[in-house]
Amino acid sequence: MPFIAYWIMQVISWAGTLVGLGAFVHALLQRADAYHAADRKTKPIWLAITGAGTVAMGLFGFGGAGSLFWLAGIVAVLVYLVDVRPRLIEVQRGGKNW
């Protein structure tokens, strides 16, 4: 593998892990009742999902033998960031301000 390709894959791998860590910390700092009000899974479930995804990305790098586990981890974290996080923020702000 060329040197530059190796470093690009390393940056992608570590960036995914950092995004997962950010999602886990965000899930940790939210109120437990906000998950119920947002009609999403409970706080412990999302902590487990984002935590396991982050650990999978940390253990298995992008482009290595465990790429499938890395991919599953990033998908789990992105589901939280794209679906759950905006809904939690909306619920905690008091809904839509039209």
Mean pLDDT of 48-56: 97
In this predicted structure, the answer to whether residue 49 has a pLDDT above a threshold of 80 is: yes
Does 45 or 66 have the greater pLDDT score? 45
Show the DSSP H helices in 30-97 as ranges.
32-37, 43-59, 67-79, 85-93
- pLDDT tens digits, one per residue of 64-84: 788 999 999 999 999 999 999
Q: Nearest Cα to 76, choosing from 14, 27, 34? A: 27
Note the pTM of the prediction, 2 decimals.
0.89
State how far the Cα of 57 lies from the Cα of 36, in Å rounded to an integer: 28
Q: Is the pLDDT of residue 62 over 70?
A: yes
